[in-house]
A and B are shown apart, each in its own frame.
Chain A
Amino acid sequence: GENVEQHPSTLSVQEGDSAVIKCTYSDSASNYFPWYKQELGKGPQLIIDIRSNVGEKKDQRIAVTLNKTAKHFSLHITETQPEDSAVYFCAARGGGTSYGKLTFGQGTILTVHP
């Protein structure tokens, strides 16, 4: 089945700096890669997603890039703000027998210092 590795596990930045979180996946047939943000005591919320026929997608201060050859994708947050502090999860939808299921990375705790 699919395996997703996420790094770093914790990330601390100053307000206004950029933050980058990276994920690798194992199933070359995977074709859907969402990113979720989880605030304390709440469920994860989708913030951006990308499909395998696209190399990059942006939404205001958030962008995701995908390198299918290397099987990795990254979340980029620019001009970080304290409210960006949360746990971020990447995920991948595997192909074959795992079709339809999402496999999540281990999560990154992002802290933005004012």
Chain B
Amino acid sequence: DGGITQSPKYLFRKEGQNVTLSCEQNLNHDAMYWYRQDPGQGLRLIYYSQIVNDFQKGDIAEGYSVSREKKESFPLTVTSAQKNPTAFYLCASSIQGAGNSPLHFGNGTRLTVT
């Protein structure tokens, strides 16, 4: 079955450490996205990529970095500069830019930083 795989489901890190969240899709989608979900705040866009080797900052990119070396992969690194990294992180993909086709989401990674 085609879909989006996020791993791991739960991740624990000590404050001051960088951590990378994995996102892989086999839907042959061009566009990929990272959202952060906090209680009562909906989904906020961190970074998005419309094509391989290109990506743009979303609304809350500070303290995060991404790469898009392959069409099927879009890893997110949460750096030590992110002041409040504990959250639920969702990866998504779409055929084109989000406005032209629906987003398909993975099942998320819950990151806890202590």
Q: Which residues of A contact B (CB under 8 A)?
A: 1, 4, 6, 9, 31-32, 34, 36, 41-46, 49, 89, 93, 99-107
Which residues of B are found within 8 Å of A105, using beta-carbon distances? Answer: 42
Can you list 10 A-B pairs with a CB-CB distance of less than 8 A? Answer: A42-B107, A43-B107, A45-B105, A46-B103, A89-B43, A100-B100, A102-B45, A103-B45, A104-B44, A106-B40
Q: Which residues of B contact A (CB under 8 A)?
A: 4, 6, 31, 35, 40-45, 48, 50, 58-59, 90, 92, 97-100, 102-108
Are B108 and A43 closer than 8 Å at their CB atoms? yes
Total contacts A-B at CB 8 Å: 66
**Contact among A34, A36, A100, A107 with B97 in the assembled complex (CB-CB below 8 Å):** A100
- Measured CB to CB, the nearest residue on chain B to A4 is B42
Bound state CA distance, A70 and B58, in angstroms?
Answer: 27
